Amino acid sequence: MEKINKANRLLLLCGTAVFLLLGAIAKISPQLSSGNFEKDLIPVFISLLVVASAIYFVAVGNFRKNRACSLLLIILFGLGFRVLFLFSTPILEDDYHRYFWDGAVVANGMNPYQHSPEEVAEGVGNEKLKELKHLYGETLEKVNHPHVKTIYPPVAEFFFATSYKISPMSLTAWRIVLIVFDVITLVLLLASLKKLGISLQNSLIYWWNPLLVQQIFNSAHMDILAFPFVLGAILLFLYERKRLWTLALSLAVGVKLWPVLLFGTFLKPLREKRETLLQTLVFAVAILVIFLPTVAFELDSASGMVAYGKSWQNNSPFFAAILSGWEFVLETLGIHPGHAQKHSRAAIIAILFIWKFYVAFVSGSLGIHRKALLIIGGAFLLSPAQFPWYYAWLLPFLCIAPSPGFLALTALLPLYYLQYYFPPNPEEGGIFGDVVVWIEFAPVWALLAWEWMKFRASKKTPAVGKDYAG
């Protein structure tokens, strides 16, 4: 009993400290809005988030040592963290304007892939679209990258429209949608942990993560929408509901493209060739139906998906190193270095698919959640764009397959916002690109390498980290 009380006292102390730190972030958020921020507050914001992350690590270590922490306390504090940001100002982010505009277009019966916001602002489109421009011109003007069409898949567009139906252009309505998906994610996580015989307190890794809470409920990023479909698909797979898991995973891809990387992982245990072929066919047809609205308009020169795939790059030292290497090689061969982007992205895709094949089919008897963590974690670390909200993709899997290397990103990724404090020099680069990105990711690569060597030495544990079973 004394051990239980001690564990809960520490949990209460950590929860209170994280609550106060996140509350301080919510309080200063109006001074850090995108396009109109007080530069001197950026280090303050980053420091608050990093300290909250350090305390979060203490809480994670506490339940892993004692296994006696109160699940009720974990859930209540996590809800409190989210409520703190319900009426806050998004900090240095403005993606939600695109969600709002797309939601208005879809809710009014139009295809969001047909015209870019810039085209609509210039008067292109039918009368309904022009009416939306008149009603919501302020939102339309704030959409970032207005020259490209929306990058978001059709299932995500449906939920943008749902938020619009609740209350047009309302951050509070959108955050309520996010909270609903977040609670569903927690329920599915708890069900997964119970199914696998793992302590339910492991859910704290997801539910208390300060970076996730800030990125989703303050900055209002949409990435959480995919989680119930991904976790639901894996849970259905564990219960051998073959048709349903295929459909659930296809819906996840319809929210965000990254879950498509998990499909081969699901097929590995299906030994019957006929069943494997059938599942592949069902998945392919479901994806085709889901993405039908994008086929006619999306894949042209103004496509958000095409623009992202060809040129978007941010906060990625690994990709920057490969790009520099290709530029050197091409210049040596007398070829214009502008082609390096294409070659670098092809190299990244090749490395990622080799890694995916290794994890899915060669790496041995790893659990499906650990395979998912390694595949999606690899995709994140190799990606030309490593935004903090993309890190959220890993957190549901980290509850079941913890990894110190990947968890370290919680405290390191807030440094991403130093790019607003150290703006780049177009000719000479800058402190952020030359120094900060390496501080963000070098410790992570080092920790992952340490975990790998530890595995190779013991030959008894999975490739990255050690699965925790309660």
For the chain, the domain total comes to 2
109 and 56, same domain (yes or no): no
108 and 83, same domain (yes or no): no
**DSSP state string for 204-269:** HHHHT-HHHHIIIIIS--SGGGGHHHHHHHHHHHHTT-HHHHHHHHHHHHHH-SGGGGGHHHHHTT
Question: Tokens for 15?
Answer: 């929860």
| 24 within domain boundaries | yes
| 184 within domain boundaries | no
132 and 202, same domain (yes or no): no
| 82 within domain boundaries | yes
Q: pLDDT by residue (tens digit) across 74-90?
A: 999 999 999 999 999 99
19 and 83, same domain (yes or no): yes
Could you tell me the pTM of the whole model? 0.91
Q: pLDDT by residue (tens digit) across 303-338?
A: 656 665 666 678 888 888 888 888 888 888 888 877
Residue 91 backbone phi and psi in degrees, to 5: -90, 115
| 110 within domain boundaries | yes
Find all residues with CB under 8 Å of 159, minimum gap 6, and list them: 177, 222, 225, 255
Tell me which H or E stretch contains 33.
strand 32-33
72 and 108, same domain (yes or no): no
| 427 within domain boundaries | no
113 and 161, same domain (yes or no): yes
100 and 148, same domain (yes or no): yes
pLDDT bin (cut points 50, 70, 90) of residue 466 is very low
| 57 within domain boundaries | yes
| 254 within domain boundaries | no
| 188 within domain boundaries | no
Q: pLDDT by residue (tens digit) across 127-181?
A: 899 999 999 999 999 999 898 889 999 999 999 999 999 999 999 999 999 999 9
77 and 12, same domain (yes or no): yes
Question: Tokens for 162?
Answer: 């749902």
31 and 157, same domain (yes or no): no
CA distance 336 to 338: 5
Q: pLDDT by residue (tens digit) across 120-140?
A: 999 888 889 999 999 999 999
Output the CA–CA distances (angstroms, integers) from residue 102 to 79, 228, 294, in the order listed: 28, 22, 13
- Its domain, for residue 153, covers 96-171
Find all residues with CB under 8 Å of 345, minimum gap 6, and list them: 309, 310, 384
Write down the mean pLDDT value for the chain: 88
